[in-house]
């Protein structure tokens, strides 16, 4: 029976002591091989599409900033020419088309690069808008805006260098798997509950605070980022010959994208009406970027293989971009909203120092007499006719 038992040499079995001795014999070679193997696995999928996504996103944000300044210039020209509707200006429509092209570029960029990288690149639009307004609209540039632009550019560079350099290969099966994962369902449940609480406070309790509105926009934006990347990735995969449009998950993500975008624009417009743009722009950028990064981490698991140093530098780059956008936006010219409780007066009012706005006293007997007299005159004219 001993002849039927193979020896250790025949089985090529390495005992733990022999394996430990083998490692200790050439520790540097083993470590170097392990580092090279890890680096190869880490960077094996750094395709040119990663750089394409960054370039498309930067170009799209620059086009958006150009379009906003073109539309602003069109409004200035129309105000000088007279009270004409803005949609009669060819220049305004040109700016709108450029904005559509820029947003389409951002949409396409999500199909090439990680969502946690594309979202922070939105600060490029703020930087470019400040530069264009100085060059073409002759607006002044203060020291804080120069410092803010420098910080934002530095933060963007750090983001690009230390962000996840691998993008998930989007397919319908993968999106469906991520969509049904327990961590995303838990994240979705927390997000829905938080949104309902904020909406109740905003609508029923009538708390019109900018943080409440911007938090609702950010919660919707996280779903927008997830669905946009999914739809963009499946369309790109279909263009390459692997049809993904036949799967129901594509249309589920398409509906989520459209609905979340619509409500996001609705609440953002309400914020722009209630608050100044210098407050809305930096807060919206910070909240949107944070929600997009969290969505990319939870849904697409973009930080799964990222080293601790890269995560720390990525967060540091985000903070620099946030600070830069805040410094740029805080000195932008504020909109002059005239209070509806005051009556504009172009002539001097005897006995008053304030000549631009006069507020009638509601406690006097003559309060509202002008409107009553006007209504009585209208009634008399009706009876005469």
List, for residues 318-374, the tens digit of each pLDDT value: 999 999 999 988 766 555 444 444 444 444 444 444 444 445 554 555 444 444 443
Q: Are 178 and 299 in contact (CB under 8 A)?
A: yes
CA gap 93, 110 in Å, rounded: 26
Instruction: Kindly tell me if the per-residue pLDDT of 40 is higher than 80.
Output: no
Q: What is the arithmetic mean of pLDDT over 175-197?
A: 95
> How does residue 65 score in pLDDT terms, banded at 50, 70 and 90?
confident
The H or E element containing residue 358 is strand 357-358
CA gap 336, 312 in Å, rounded: 41
> How does residue 75 score in pLDDT terms, banded at 50, 70 and 90?
confident
Q: Which two tokens stand for residue 278?
A: 């210098």
| C-alpha distances out from residue 207 to 119, 200, 201, 211, Å | 29, 9, 6, 10
Q: Provide φ and ψ at 306, rounded to 5°.
A: -85, 135
Q: Are 106 and 60 in contact (CB under 8 A)?
A: yes
CA gap 189, 298 in Å, rounded: 13
Q: Which two tokens stand for residue 333?
A: 């010219």
Q: Which of 213, 192, 214 is nearest to 203 (CA)?
A: 213
Q: Which two tokens stand for residue 294?
A: 């969290």
Dihedral angle computed from the Cα positions of residues 196, 229, 282 and 131, in that order, rounded to the nearest 10 degrees? -160
Ramachandran bin of 84, using left for φ above 0, alpha for ψ from -120 to 50, beta for the remaining angles: beta
Q: Which of 115, 233, 125, 128 is nearest to 163 (CA)?
A: 115
Task: Identify the residue whose tokens are 């880490």.
Answer: 42
The Cβ-side half-sphere exposure at 131, using a 13 Å CA radius, reads 15
| Spacing of C-alpha 185 from chain mean position | 22
The H or E element containing residue 344 is strand 343-344
Q: In 149-235, where do the E strands start and end?
A: none
| pLDDT score of 204 | 87
CA gap 113, 72 in Å, rounded: 32
| pLDDT score of 101 | 92
Q: Are 62 and 124 in contact (CB under 8 A)?
A: yes
Q: Which two tokens stand for residue 315?
A: 């967060």
> Would you call 6 helix, strand, or coil by DSSP?
coil
pLDDT digits (tens, 9 = 90+) for 100-138: 899 899 998 998 888 888 999 988 988 888 888 888 777
DSSP string over 124-154: HHHHHHHHHHHHTS-----HHHHHHHHHHHH
Tally the residues of the chain: 385
User: Cβ atoms within 10 A of the Cβ of 166, count?
Assistant: 20
| pLDDT score of 45 | 47
To the nearest 5 percent, what fractions of the chain are helix, strand and coil?
75, 0, 25
| pLDDT score of 332 | 64
Angle, nearest 10°, between helix axes 277-299 and 123-135? Answer: 150
Q: What is the arithmetic mean of pLDDT over 48-73?
A: 87
Q: Which two tokens stand for residue 355?
A: 């000549």
Which residues touch 200 (CB under 8 Å, ≥6 apart)? none
């Amino acid at each position: 029976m001993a002849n039927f038992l193979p020896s250790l040499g025949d089985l090529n079995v390495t005992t733990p002591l022999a394996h430990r001795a083998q490692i200790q014999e050439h520790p540097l070679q083993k470590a170097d091989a392990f580092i090279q193997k890890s680096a190869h696995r880490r960077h094996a999928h750094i395709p040119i599409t990663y750089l394409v996504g960054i370039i498309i996103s930067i170009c799209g944000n620059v086009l958006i900033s150009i379009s906003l300044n073109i539309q602003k210039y069109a409004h200035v020209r129309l105000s000088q020419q007279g009270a004409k509707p803005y949609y009669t200006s060819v220049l305004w429509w040109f700016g709108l088309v450029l904005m559509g092209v820029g947003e389409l570029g951002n949409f396409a960029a999500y199909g090439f690069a990680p969502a946690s990288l594309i979202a922070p690149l939105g600060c490029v639009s703020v930087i470019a808008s400040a530069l264009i307004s100085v060059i073409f609209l002759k607006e002044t540039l203060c020291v804080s805006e120069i410092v803010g632009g420098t910080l934002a550019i530095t933060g963007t560079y750090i983001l690009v260098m230390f962000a996840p350099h691998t993008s998930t290969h989007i397919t319908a099966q993968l999106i469906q798997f991520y969509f049904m994962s327990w961590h995303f369902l838990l994240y979705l449940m927390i997000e829905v509950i938080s949104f309902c609480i904020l909406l109740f406070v905003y609508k029923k309790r009538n708390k019109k605070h900018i943080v409440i509105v911007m938090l609702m926009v950010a919660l919707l934006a996280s779903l927008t980022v997830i669905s946009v990347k999914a739809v963009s990735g499946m369309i790109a995969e279909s263009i390459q010959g692997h049809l993904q449009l036949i799967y129901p998950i594509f249309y589920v993500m398409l509906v989520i994208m459209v609905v979340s975008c619509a409500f996001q624009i609705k609440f953002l417009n309400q914020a722009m009406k209630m608050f100044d743009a210098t407050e809305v722009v930096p807060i919206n950028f910070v909240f949107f970027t944070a929600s997009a990064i969290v969505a990319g981490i939870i849904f697409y698991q973009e930080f799964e293989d990222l080293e601790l140093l890269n995560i720390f530098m990525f967060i540091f780059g985000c903070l620099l971009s946030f600070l830069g956008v805040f410094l740029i936006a805080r000195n932008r010219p504020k909109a002059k909203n005239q209070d509806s409780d005051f009556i504009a007066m172009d002539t001097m009012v005897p006995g008053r120092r304030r000549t631009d706005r006069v507020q009638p006293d509601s406690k006097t007997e003559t309060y509202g007499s002008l409107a009553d007299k006007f209504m009585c005159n209208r009634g008399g004219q009706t009876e005469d006719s």
